[in-house]
């Protein structure tokens, strides 16, 4: 049991991972896919975590889901094999010699190794392999793809990313409990970081204060490579904290998220020291208005395109047209930023069980601002996950 401010929660049980596999297999049947192969690495681990609760280190990981039967977990060496035996919720673990880190040793310890030919020959005793779905196709290494193709030269290959991703759009009660804890940790640590902001402290020092607090509160790491920017670097949507020291009359952009049991929290706030240029202040005020309006507009049954259009019109009427990179919200869960995206290119509506980050980022080539908060879609409305000072914080 884990005690949180929102009550007592349990870790996700092994049975839920088995249910996820069955759900994927049902979708495979609908798409006439015989085998689905998911891939993961340390920085792109979400699908592997979803299917097995394993977060890889160094070596790659593959999960092979046959259309019938149990999934098979692949990793690349004796140390990763032992690691997976301890943490993976998938019990059938095999070593594939290509699933190793980019600078791997030659192992002295003997292992029973499986190529895809050997693995598929085993599966072919149960069914023909005519159609193979590849998930994470944008990161799976070339050598592994060639080995898969060699193992099934007559098979048709299709992208299967959506089969897993769409299943991940809808969170279980256990997943929502993990997310609430992740946001709780994120917010409590943000409060400590904001309290530490003063002229003379560096961006990196502020990030270190926040990181120290999230680990004290039970986080396993960060939701993404977090950062704090200040002064002339706030126009960058993606950045790194640097050794730049905060100055009087700076805006400090906080972009921070803690990960708990694989699930990602996130929170973005603006802190103003002294006086900043009026255009930047106007931009912050508009972003704050967009954030509040979007949080109020999101309800179960509301169309994505309606929320997006309200956001777009607010920017246009406020003098900041085309200052956004994307729509005002996106899905979140095992990745801080995952589908679905809230824009005008879809007929989707908000549904219970979905979790989003309301993510308002607007910028020009000199100034930028982001406010971000988590929100759960419930049967009757919404629940906002972070509420600390949704305002221009002045120090």
pLDDT tens track for 288-312: 999 999 999 999 999 999 999 999 9
Q: How remote is the C-alpha of 385 from its chain's centroid? A: 16
Mean pLDDT, rounded, for 385-395 = 97
Mean pLDDT, rounded, for 142-160 = 97
Domain boundaries, the chain: 2-168, 173-394
Mean pLDDT, rounded, for 206-227 = 98
Tell me, what's the pLDDT at 50? 98
Exposure of 367 in the CB half-sphere (CA atoms within 13 A): 18
How far are the Cα atoms of 125, 170, 309, 348 from residue 166, in angstroms, in the given order?
31, 8, 24, 12
The angle subtended at Cα 148 by Cα 145 and Cα 154, nearest 5°, is 120
How far are the Cα atoms of 24, 88, 355 from residue 16, in angstroms, in the given order?
13, 13, 18
Mean pLDDT, rounded, for 8-30 = 91
Q: What is the mean pLDDT of the chain?
A: 95
Residue 366 and residue 323 in contact, taking contact as beta carbons nearer than 8 Å: no
The percent of residues in the chain predicted with pLDDT above 90, rounded, is: 93
The percent of residues in the chain predicted with pLDDT above 70, rounded, is: 97
Query: Residue 121 pLDDT > 80, yes or no?
Result: yes
C-alpha 62/C-alpha 65 separation (Å) is 10
**Is residue 335 classed as helix, strand or coil in its secondary structure?**
coil
Query: Residue 111 pLDDT > 60, yes or no?
Result: yes
Mean pLDDT, rounded, for 365-386 = 97
Q: Specify which residues 64 forms β-bridges with.
A: 37, 72
Q: Which of 74, 52, 85 is nearest to 141 (CA)?
A: 74
Tell me, what's the pLDDT at 9? 53
Tell me, what's the pLDDT at 68? 97
Tell me, what's the pLDDT at 10? 63
Mean pLDDT, rounded, for 144-168 = 97
* Extended beta strands in the chain, E state: 2-4, 7-9, 35-40, 61-66, 72-75, 93-95, 131-134, 156-159, 221-222, 227-230, 251-256, 258-260, 263-264, 267-272, 329-331, 338-342, 355-363, 368-377, 382-384, 393-394
pTM of the full structure: 0.95
Query: Residue 1 pLDDT > 50, yes or no?
Result: no
Pick the CATH number of 173-394 from 3.60.20.10, 3.90.230.10, 3.10.580.10, 3.65.10.10: 3.90.230.10
Query: Residue 6 pLDDT > 80, yes or no?
Result: no
Buried b (16+ CB within 10 A) or exposed e, 190-213: bbbbbeebeeeebbbbbbebbbeb
Whether domain 2-168 has CATH 3.40.350.10: the reply is yes
Residue 355 and residue 333 in contact, taking contact as beta carbons nearer than 8 Å: yes
Query: Residue 8 pLDDT > 50, yes or no?
Result: no
Q: Specify which residues 376 forms β-bridges with.
A: 355, 383
Tell me, what's the pLDDT at 85? 96
- Rg of the chain taking only CA atoms, in angstroms: 23
Tell me, what's the pLDDT at 2? 47
The DSSP-derived string for 152-205 is: -TT-EEEE-HHHHHHHHTS--HHHHHHHHHHHHHHHHHHHHHHHH--TT-BHHH
Tell me, what's the pLDDT at 110? 74
- pLDDT tens-digit series, residues 202-212: 999 999 999 99
Query: Residue 199 pLDDT > 70, yes or no?
Result: yes
**Is residue 358 classed as helix, strand or coil in its secondary structure?**
strand
Lowest mean pLDDT: which of 2-11, 68-77, 116-125? 2-11
Q: Which of 255, 56, 269, 266 is nearest to 182 (CA)?
A: 266
């Amino acid at each position: 049991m884990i005690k949180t401010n929102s009550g007592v929660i349990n870790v996700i049980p092994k049975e839920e991972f088995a249910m996820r596999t069955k759900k994927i297999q049902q979708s495979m049947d609908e798409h006439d896919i015989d085998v689905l192969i998911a891939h993961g690495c340390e920085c792109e681990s979400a699908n592997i975590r979803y299917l097995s609760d394993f977060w890889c280190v160094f070596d790659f990981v593959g999960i092979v889901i046959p259309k019938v039967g149990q999934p098979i977990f692949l990793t690349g060496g004796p140390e990763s094999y032992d690691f997976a035996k301890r943490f993976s919720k998938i019990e059938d673990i095999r070593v594939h010699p290509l699933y190793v880190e980019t600078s791997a040793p030659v192992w002295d310890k003997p292992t029973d190794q499986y190529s895809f030919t050997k693995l598929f020959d085993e599966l072919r005793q149960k069914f023909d392999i005519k159609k193979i779905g590849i998930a994470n196709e944008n990161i799976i290494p070339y050598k592994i793809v060639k080995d898969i193709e060699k193992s099934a030269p007559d098979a048709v290959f299709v992208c299967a990313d959506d089969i897993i991703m769409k299943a991940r759009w809808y969170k279980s009660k256990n997943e929502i409990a993990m997310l609430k804890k992740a946001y709780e940790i994120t917010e409590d640590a943000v409060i400590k970081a904001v309290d530490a902001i003063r002229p003379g402290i560096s961006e990196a020092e502020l990030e270190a204060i926040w990181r120290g607090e999230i680990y004290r509160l039970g986080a396993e790491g960060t939701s993404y490579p977090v950062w704090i920017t200040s002064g002339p670097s706030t126009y960058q949507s993606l950045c790194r904290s640097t050794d730049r020291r905060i100055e009087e009359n700076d805006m400090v952009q906080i972009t921070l998220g803690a990960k708990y049991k694989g699930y990602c929290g996130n929170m973005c706030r603006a802190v103003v020291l002294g006086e900043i240029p009026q255009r930047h202040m106007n931009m912050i005020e508009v972003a704050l208005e967009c954030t509040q309006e979007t949080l109020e507009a999101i309800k179960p049954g509301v169309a994505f395109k309606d929320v997006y259009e309200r956001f777009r019109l607010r920017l246009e009427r406020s003098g900041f047209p085309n200052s956004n990179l994307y729509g005002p919200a996106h899905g979140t869960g095992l990745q801080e930023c995952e589908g679905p995206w809230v824009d005008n290119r879809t007929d989707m509506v908000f549904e219970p069980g979905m979790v989003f980050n309301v993510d308002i980022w607007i910028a020009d080539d000199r100034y930028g601002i982001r406010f971000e908060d988590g929100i759960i879609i419930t049967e009757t409305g919404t629940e906002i996950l972070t509420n600390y000072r949704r305002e221009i914080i002045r120090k």
